[in-house]
Amino acid sequence: MNPVRHLIFVLGDQLTLTLSSLEGADPDRDLILMCEVMEEATYVPHHKLKIALIFSAMRHFAEELRGKGFKVHYTKLDDPQNSGSFSGELLRATAAALPERIVATEASEWRVLQSMQGWQSSLTQPVEIRVDTRFICSKAEFRDWADNRRSLTMEYFYRDMRRKTGLLMQGEEPEGGRWNFDADNRKPAKPDLFRPKHGVVRPDSITLEVLDLVERVFAGNMGSTKNFVFAVTRADAESAARAFIRDFLPNFGETQDAMLKDEPFLNHAMLSFYINIGLLDPLAVCQAAERAYLQGHAPLNGVEGFIRQIIGWREYIRGIYWLKMPGYQHSNVFAAHRPLAGFFWDGDTAMACLSTAITQTITHAYAHHIHRLMVIGNFSMLAGLDPHAVHEWYLSVYADAFEWVELPNVVGMSQFADGGFMASKPYAASGAYIDRMSDYCQDCRYDVSKKTGEDACPLNALYWDFLDRNAEHLSKNHRLAQIYASWHRMDDGKKRSYRDSAARFLQKLDAGEYV
């Protein structure tokens, strides 16, 4: 074999042919390294479907690279030689191949990037860590944007990204005369037998081998590999994106905030996993959505909403992560320390909204945005659950969960644990919101119309108790002024009954009783 010029280390969420570390790669002189390692597979107890997706997509990417003539050194998890860590595998491959240089694209997560930055100290060859160019806004560009303003409102960042990409722009003006059509996107949904179904991909022999490995090695983790339906190749992920644009984008906007117990996916894209691991290019997906609008196939409210999620929220979240790490993971402005209830792991609760959202999570390693934010996240914040424990749960259970995108969404957006660095007010809601947006309350053992007492929806008392408990941090927030005014207008008896109801519920939760 020729001497190896570059040893190119590709991580499990870097499955992109145009990855910066592969730029200028030469099949004749370079060797690509990919490895499944216990360190990554166990730093939180990942859902079985998440591990299976990543391993299978990695193995398929290795095949794609080999198809292009590259040599790939691929370590499977159960390889007896496997050292169990990225650094260990790098040292092992370097000792065997003696490359002139190590090349990698920066890891998407702080924890792994830290370790990457330590590689040079144990190697004599130069280690070159390249910038990840798969985002629309670079880390430096975001930092500049943030440096120049007092408040980091996503909406203004998003407008800059619209200008930068030219998506839905008419010269300097936004298409349709408005930047944001969210006001048209907050409708409840009705069950619809004719709603198209999201596609499923039948596991091939590579995936079947991975599913078997995951069931053997991670038997105690959440979920079952029987429910594996993910795309694991670029071609299948691209076909899932086309199917979304054809079948779901036309109704995406309207039902974006809706929840139905028998429809876990509604008109959501189900594309975050593929975008996050690099099988889909976020900008290309947005351009395809824009084309659907220009061709009259999908309305502006939905297409704008979809594009905003990707070039707005997704990019903004990443910017915040790199601005605030490493301290961000310990944010806990409300000093909330309650551990997660057992039902987070089995969905066994009488609260129909939580039971549905968590059961769907266990089945699919997926829950749509409103389940994550307004059901599970809302409950966690109102009940005073420890935000770090909540963060680790989200990081474990969703197939699209990588810390850079999960942490700000959980700690900042859903738990307000950063004290409002990201969100201008907490996403707190009583049962009335869930009743308006879902069909859950009609089947719940609790009564959403009752405010306090044993049968009342627990969220009703928890909501006021949360605001009361955290008044020190929230009562000066002008967006909450009216809500606090209502609280202050309540007579003492009513306030006491909210506090007592919340305390009784939390006592039961702490005692591990069925709630």
Q: Which residues bind ligand FAD (CB under 6 A)?
A: 268-272, 275-276, 306, 309-310, 313-314, 317, 368-369, 372-373, 377, 394, 398, 400-401, 405-406, 409-410, 413-414
Choose from ligand DLZ, ligand FAD, ligand SF4, none: what does 269 bind? Cβ within 5-8 Å by kind. Answer: ligand FAD
User: Are 31 and 128 a contacting pair, CB within 8 Å?
Assistant: no
Amino acid at 55: F
Residue 61 vs 398, nearer CB to ligand FAD: 398
Residue 435 interacts with ligand SF4 (CB under 6 A): yes or no: yes
- Which token pair is 19? 């990855």
Separation between Cα atoms, residue 421 and residue 153, nearest integer Å:
9
Residue 448 interacts with ligand SF4 (CB under 6 A): yes or no: yes
Residue 13 vs 238, nearer CB to ligand DLZ: 13
Separation between Cα atoms, residue 414 and residue 403, nearest integer Å:
15
Residue 108 vs 272, nearer CB to ligand FAD: 272
Choose from ligand DLZ, ligand SF4, ligand FAD, none: what does 352 bind? Cβ within 5-8 Å by kind. Answer: ligand SF4
Could you tell me how many residues of this chain bind ligand SF4 (CB under 6 A)? 14
Secondary structure class of 344 (helix, strand, coil): helix
Residue 328 vs 379, nearer CB to ligand SF4: 379
Amino acid at 462: L
Residue 439 interacts with ligand DLZ (CB under 6 A): yes or no: no
Among 237, 311, 441, 515, binds ligand SF4 (CB under 6 A): 441
Nearest approach in angstroms of CB 110 to ligand DLZ is: 8
Residue 22 vs 311, nearer CB to ligand FAD: 311
Residue 15 interacts with ligand SF4 (CB under 6 A): yes or no: no
Residue 79 vs 155, nearer CB to ligand DLZ: 79
Residue 271 vs 457, nearer CB to ligand SF4: 457
Among 19, 31, 33, 37, binds ligand DLZ (CB under 6 A): 37
Terminal Cα-to-Cα distance of the chain (whole angstroms)? 64
- Which token pair is 59? 């193995």
Q: How far is CA 73 from CA 238, 264, 360, in A?
A: 26, 39, 37
Residue 71 vs 338, nearer CB to ligand SF4: 338
Nearest approach in angstroms of CB 51 to ligand DLZ is: 5
Under the phi-then-psi rule, with left for phi > 0, alpha for psi from -120 to 50, and beta for the rest, what region is 260?
A: beta
Q: Which of 435, 437, 438, 503 is nearest to 464 (CA)?
A: 503
User: Are 43 and 86 a contacting pair, CB within 8 Å?
Assistant: no
The CA-based angle 274-277-281, given to 5 degrees, is 60
Q: Which residue has the tokens 């004290």?
A: 419
Residue 234 interacts with ligand DLZ (CB under 6 A): yes or no: no
Residue 37 vs 401, nearer CB to ligand FAD: 401
Under the phi-then-psi rule, with left for phi > 0, alpha for psi from -120 to 50, and beta for the rest, what region is 167?
A: beta
Choose from ligand SF4, ligand FAD, ligand DLZ, none: what does 13 bind? Cβ within 5-8 Å by kind. Answer: ligand DLZ
Q: Which residue is nearest to ligand DLZ (CB)?
A: 12
Q: In the range 99-138, which residues lie near ligand DLZ by CB under 6 A?
A: 107-109, 112
Number of Cβ atoms within 10 Å of the Cβ of 248: 22
- Sequence-ordered list of residues with C-beta below 8 angstroms from that of 328, at least 6 positions apart, any chain: 320, 321, 407, 408, 411, 412, 418
Choose from ligand SF4, ligand FAD, ligand DLZ, none: what does 109 bind? Cβ within 5-8 Å by kind. Answer: ligand DLZ
Asked if omega into 326 is within 30° of 0 (cis), the reply is yes
Choose from ligand DLZ, ligand SF4, ligand FAD, none: what does 413 bind? Cβ within 5-8 Å by kind. Answer: ligand FAD
Nearest approach in angstroms of CB 409 to ligand DLZ is: 16
User: Are 278 and 134 a contacting pair, CB within 8 Å?
Assistant: yes
User: Are 366 and 411 a contacting pair, CB within 8 Å?
Assistant: no
Separation between Cα atoms, residue 371 and residue 433, nearest integer Å:
12
Nearest approach in angstroms of CB 46 to ligand DLZ is: 5
Q: How far is CA 252 from CA 60, 244, 292, 305, in A?
A: 30, 9, 12, 8
DSSP-derived pairing of the beta strands 31-35 and 6-9: parallel
Nearest approach in angstroms of CB 448 to ligand SF4 is: 4
Choose from ligand DLZ, ligand SF4, ligand FAD, none: what does 435 bind? Cβ within 5-8 Å by kind. Answer: ligand SF4
Secondary structure class of 31 (helix, strand, coil): strand
Which residues are 35's β-sheet partners? 75
Among 459, 467, 509, 515, binds ligand SF4 (CB under 6 A): 459
Secondary structure class of 338 (helix, strand, coil): strand
Segment near ligand SF4 (CB under 6 A); pick from 182-190, 208-216, 362-370, 455-463: 455-463
Q: Which residues bind ligand DLZ (CB under 6 A)?
A: 11-13, 35-37, 40-41, 46, 51, 54, 107-109, 112
Q: Which residues bind ligand SF4 (CB under 6 A)?
A: 351-353, 431, 434-435, 440-441, 444, 446, 448, 457-459
